[in-house]
Amino acid sequence: MTMYEIRIHSRGGQGGVTAARLLALSAVHDGKYATACPFYGAERRGAPVVSYVRIDDTPIRIYSQIKKPDMVVVLDASVMDVVDVLQGLKKGGKILVNSTHKKEFAGFSSSHVDLTGIALRENLVIAGSPILNTPVLGALAKTGIISVDSAKKSIREMFTDERNVRAAEAAYGEMNA
């Protein structure tokens, strides 16, 4: 495996930064090297937030923003109205969008899953906002970046509430490519 780079677009309070940490931890459980790096703009709930994850078979010595990702994850489709989430996405790159329906992006492979619906069904809500970090980990496992077993292990290390594992399993099962 050559280095695989993922950029996660979310809004403050949705769990994007934690999703990046969970993804990196899951990759480590799979025997890979990984780093997670958040980038905060205006630090407030609802503001656009970007997180970065690198995964490789060899030690990673880069800890910075990712300008040319292999994959873009969008936890809140409204972010696409204010941020060019496709900027720098490598040719043939992948896009995963939290949505109830498929969104097409010319030249890129896209997948979707209703992460918000899953979080609401499991009552994963804080301050009125659905928390999407554990459901998106299940969707990412479906893409093959990490194993579903490592995803569940990472979730259980970070959270004691099994609703988080159920949410990841639901997203894994419901994701549409």
Give the tens place of pLDDT for each residue, 53-94: 999 999 999 888 999 999 999 999 999 999 999 999 999 999
Give the tens place of pLDDT for each residue, 15-64: 999 999 999 999 999 999 999 998 866 556 677 889 999 999 999 998 88
d(CA 17, CA 38): 6
Architecture in CATH of 4-174: 3-Layer(aba) Sandwich (3.40)
Q: Which residues contact 65 (CB under 8 A, 6 or more apart)?
A: 37, 39, 50, 52
Q: Which residues contact 11 (CB under 8 A, 6 or more apart)?
A: 45, 46, 47, 48, 49, 75, 76, 78, 79
pTM higher than 0.75: yes
d(CA 53, CA 46): 21
